[in-house]
């Protein structure tokens, strides 16, 4: 498995089974490291993968469009 080392830029990061804080250096599988870098959550220590811009725009979620199937019957 190919890995890469990243440095976390977020105050706290919990994703893909990892927990880290700003300044932590982690060795990750490349697919996770590239995804995190592209989202602006960390930087590639080797400077091979560009860091994307972190998006902090609010997102609207419409709960009426979410479907949920339940085995429980209501009367």
Give the Cβ contact number of residue 32 at 10 Å: 18
Strand partners, 33: none
Domain ranges of the chain: 3-53
Query: What confidence score (pLDDT) does residue 73 get?
Result: 65
Does residue 13 carry a pLDDT above 80?
yes
**CB distance 5 to 27 below 8 Å:** yes
Distances (CA, A) of 9 to 24, 29, 43, 54, 64: 8, 18, 7, 10, 35
pLDDT (tens digit per residue) in 31-70: 999 999 999 999 999 999 999 999 888 888 787 766 666 6
Nearest to 33 by CA among 47, 24, 44, 25: 44
Kindly report the length of the chain: 75
Distances (CA, A) of 36 to 4, 45, 66: 11, 13, 27
């Amino acid at each position: 498995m190919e890995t890469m080392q990243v440095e976390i830029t977020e105050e706290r990061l919990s994703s893909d089974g990892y927990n880290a804080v700003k300044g932590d250096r982690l060795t990750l599988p490349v697919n996770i490291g590239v995804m995190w870098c592209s989202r602006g959550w960390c930087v590639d220590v080797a400077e091979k993968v560009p860091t994307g811009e972190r998006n902090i725009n609010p997102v609207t979620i419409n709960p009426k469009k979410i479907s949920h199937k339940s085995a429980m019957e209501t009367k």
